[in-house]
Amino acid sequence: MSVQVLTYIFVGITFAIYIAIALWARAKSTTDFYVAGGGVHPVVNGMATAADWMSAASFISMAGIIAFMGRDGAVYLLGWTGGYVLLALLLAPYLRKFGQFTVPDFIGERYYSKAARVVAVVCLIFISFTYIAGQMRGVGIVFSRFLEVEIATGVMIGMAIVFIYAALGGMKGITYTQAAQYCVLIFAYMVPAIFISILVSGSPIPQLGFGGTMADGSGRAVLETLDGVLLDLGFGAYTAGAKSTIDVFAITAALMIGTAGLPHVIVRFFTVPKVSDARRSAGWALIFIAILYTTAPAVAVFARLNFVESVNEKPYEETPAWFRNWEDIGLVAWQDKNDDGRLQYRAGAPFAGAPDFTDERGESGQRLMANATTDTDNEVYVDRDIIVLANPEIAALPDWVVALVAAGGLAAALSTAAGLLLVISAAVSHDLLKKTFSPTLSERQELLYARIAIAVALGLAGLFGIYPPAFVAQVVAFAFGLAAASLFPAILLGVFSKRMNKEGAIAGMVAGLGFTFSYIVYFKFISPDSNTAANWLFGISPEGIGFIGALLNFAVAGLVAAMTAAPPQAVQDLVDDIRLPSGASVAHKH
C-alpha cells in the first residue's frame, strides 16, 4: 500500500474514534458543556490536558525549530514545561476551589466588576484566536502533504471534524476525545523517534541516544559530530547558544508566564471533582507532556544530522523523494546559484523571503523562483515546520510510520483547536451574553449560543489557517506574550493578594496588554526592518517582551491598588475561601 492510502486509513480510523467518543459523551447541560460535569478522573484529565496543551506547535513545529536553533531552542522546552509548574503550583488548585466555569468568571467575580470581566474576555478571545490560527495552519500542512489536497480544503475538513465533536460534546466530549488524541499523538511521536535513535545512535531511548555515540562505528559523540558538521558548513555549533543570555531569559520567562495564563489550559482544572484532584491532575499532565518534551530535543538533533547528510552536495536528480514532495507544496526549495546541479546547504538565507515559485522548471527539474538571490552560498530553503513530518521519510522509515505521524499531527492540532474553541464559545455565550448583556438567558438558549459561537469562531480560525500570518510556532509565541502580560498577573494577584482591587487589576491588564501588543505589532508589522537587537528594549526581542509586559502589569496593578480603596469584605472573604481546599465541591450553577 502506498503512503497515501495508509495515511487515509490511519486518519480515517482516528477520526471515526473521535466522533464515536463525541456521540457517547454528548453534553446535556451547561455544566457538561463548559466543565464536563466536573467529574473527570485526574489521570484522564491529565491526558486530556496534555493533548489540549500540546498543540500543532509542540508536535509539528517544535523539534524543527530546535533543530535549527540548537541550544537556544531550550526556550520552548523550558518555557512550556516550566510554565506548567507555575500553573500547577500557583493557579490550578485555587481556580478549582473557586469553582466556576471560565477564566473571565474568576476575574469578574474576584474583581467584582463587569468591566474587568469584559477586559478578560477580550484578552482571552485575542489569545485564543492567535493560537487557534496556528493549529489550523498545522492541519492544513498535514492534509496537503499527506492526503494531497489543497491546504484550504484540508483546513475545511479539519474544521468540520472539530465542529462535530466540540459543538456536540462540549467540554465532556472534548475531554474524552482529547484523552484518545493524546494516545494517538504520543504513539505517533515516539515510534519514529525510537526508530531514528536506533539508526543514528544505536540506543532505543532517544533521551539518552542523542548524548551517546554515533552508530556508524566512528565512535564519535552524536552532538560532537553534529557540531563538527555544522561548523564546516558555516553555522554556529549546535550546543552553543546564538541569542544573548538576557533574550533567552526573557523569552523563556514570557513563555512560562504565558503558558500559565492560557485560558484553555486553566479551564481544564475546573473539570476535576476536588482541589486535591486538580493538583494531582496537573502532575499527571506534566508526566504525559514530559514524555514528548524530552524526546523533542533528541528528534531535533537526529533530524538536523540526517537532513544535512541526505541533502548537502547531492545532485538534484539524486535527492530523496521526500525532498521533491515537499518542494511540490512549496516548503522546501533549491536555487542553483553556481549552476553545478548540486544542492549546497550552508548558513544564511538562500534568497529573500519565502519562495515565490514561477511555473517553470530548471535544468535539473527543480522549481524555479522569482525571488532575489542573496550573496550567501546557501542554496537550500527549508521550512522548519516540515522537520517532524518529514523526519520518518528522511530516515527512510517504513510507510506506516509516515502515515502514523500524519495522524498524530492532526490529533495534536485538533485537540488544541477544540479546547480553544470551547473557551472562546464559553467566553461569548457565558461571560458576554449571560453574565453581562442578557442575564435572563435560559440554560437552553445559553447552550445554543455557545454552539453558534463555536461555529463562528471556527470559521474565523479557518480563515487564519488558509491565509496564515506567519508560521505556526511564531503565531503561537505571540499568543503566549499576550497571555503573560494580561491574564496571568490578574489571576495570580487575585489569589495571593487580598488587597488587590478592581482598579488595580484592570489598569494592570490594560497596561500589560497594551504595551506587549504595541511592541510586537511595531517590530513585526509596522517596522520589521528595525527588528534587530540594537533597537530592542533592554535587548529583548518581541518573542520575549511578554515578560516585561507581565512585570509592567504587576507594577501598575500594585501602584493603582495602593492608591484606591480596598476590595469589599465579601470579596476578601471569597479570597479566604479560595485558599482553603476543604469544602471544594462541584462547579456550581449561578
Partner 1 sequence: MAGEQQDHQTSVYHHDDQGNPVEQSSHDGDTVSETRLSDYWQANLKFLGALLVVWFSVSFGAGIIFADTLDQYTFLGFPLGFWFAQQGAIYVFVVLIFVYVIGMSRIDRAYGVEDDDKTSDTAGEHTS
Residue 48 contacts partner 1 per CB under 8 A = no
Q: Which three cell numbers stand for residue 166?
A: 466540540
Least distance from partner 1 to the Cβ atom of residue 387, Å: 16
55 vs 252, beta carbon nearer partner 1: 252
The rounded distance, in Å, linking the Cα atoms of 311 and 314 is: 6
At 136, the amino acid letter reads: M
- Answer for which of 273, 392, 462, 546 binds partner 1 (CB under 8 A) is 273
- Answer for which of 264, 274, 342, 451 binds partner 1 (CB under 8 A) is 274
Q: Which three cell numbers stand for residue 306?
A: 540526517
- Answer for which of 77, 123, 395, 428 binds partner 1 (CB under 8 A) is 77
Residues 6+ apart with CB under 8 A from 223: 210, 211, 238, 239, 301
71 vs 314, beta carbon nearer partner 1: 71
Residue 388 contacts partner 1 per CB under 8 A = no
Residue 242 contacts partner 1 per CB under 8 A = no
- Answer for which of 19, 43, 71, 328 binds partner 1 (CB under 8 A) is 71
Residue 117 contacts partner 1 per CB under 8 A = no
Q: Taking contact as CB under 8 A, which single stretch among the options 113-121, 269-277, 312-320, 414-422 is the one that binds partner 1?
A: 269-277
Q: Return the percent helix, strand and coil in the chain, to nearest 5.
A: 70, 5, 25
- Answer for which of 52, 105, 109, 277 binds partner 1 (CB under 8 A) is 277
The rounded distance, in Å, linking the Cα atoms of 27 and 25 is: 6
Collapsing DSSP to helix, strand or coil, 213 comes out as strand
Residue 37 contacts partner 1 per CB under 8 A = yes
Least distance from partner 1 to the Cβ atom of residue 415, Å: 21
499 vs 589, beta carbon nearer partner 1: 589
Burial class (CB in 10 A: 0-12, 13-18, 19+), 330: middle
208 vs 370, beta carbon nearer partner 1: 208
User: What angle, rounded to 10 degrees, do the helices at 443-466 and 114-146 form?
Assistant: 50
Residue 445 contacts partner 1 per CB under 8 A = no
Long-range contacts of 195-203 (CB under 8 A, 24+ apart): 195/392, 195/395, 195/397, 195/401, 196/299, 196/302, 196/303, 196/306, 196/391, 196/392, 196/395, 196/397, 197/298, 197/302, 199/302, 199/395, 200/302, 200/305, 200/306, 201/302
Q: Find the farthest-apart pair of alpha carbons in the chain and give their distance in angstroms, rounded.
A: 79
Q: Please name which of 163, 178, 165, 158 lies closest in space to residue 19, comparing C-alpha atoms.
A: 165
Q: What is the DSSP letter of 359?
A: E
Site string for partner 1, 212-231 (x = CB under 8 A): xx-------xxx--------
Q: Taking contact as CB under 8 A, which single stretch among the options 515-523, 528-536, 537-545, 582-590 is the one that binds partner 1?
A: 582-590
Q: Which three cell numbers stand for residue 421?
A: 474553541
- Answer for which of 39, 202, 398, 469 binds partner 1 (CB under 8 A) is 39
310 vs 497, beta carbon nearer partner 1: 497
115 vs 221, beta carbon nearer partner 1: 221
Least distance from partner 1 to the Cβ atom of residue 272, Å: 8
The rounded distance, in Å, linking the Cα atoms of 53 and 536 is: 30
Least distance from partner 1 to the Cβ atom of residue 262, Å: 17
Q: Please name which of 258, 352, 351, 309 lies closest in space to residue 53, comparing C-alpha atoms.
A: 258
Least distance from partner 1 to the Cβ atom of residue 60, Å: 19
Q: Which three cell numbers stand for residue 203?
A: 540506543
- Answer for which of 1, 287, 347, 349 binds partner 1 (CB under 8 A) is 287
73 vs 409, beta carbon nearer partner 1: 73
- Answer for which of 16, 20, 208, 566 binds partner 1 (CB under 8 A) is 208
Give the total of residues touching partner 1 (CB under 8 A). Answer: 64
Beta strand 357-361 pairing with 332-334:
unpaired
Residue 340 contacts partner 1 per CB under 8 A = no
CB 416 within 8 A of CB 197: no
Q: Taking contact as CB under 8 A, which single stretch among the options 34-42, 375-383, 484-492, 525-533 is the one that binds partner 1?
A: 34-42
Q: What b/e string do you get for 177-215 counting C-beta neighbours within 10 Å, with b at 16 or more?
A: bbbbbbbbbbebbbbbbbbbbbbbbebebbeebbebbbe
203 vs 378, beta carbon nearer partner 1: 203
Q: Which three cell numbers stand for residue 177?
A: 476525545
Residue 392 contacts partner 1 per CB under 8 A = no
* Residue ranges in contact with partner 1 by CB under 8 A: 29, 31, 37-39, 66, 71, 73-74, 77-78, 81-82, 84-86, 88-90, 93, 207-208, 211-213, 221-223, 239, 241, 245, 248-249, 252-253, 256, 273-277, 279-280, 282-283, 286-287, 290, 293-294, 297, 576-577, 579-589
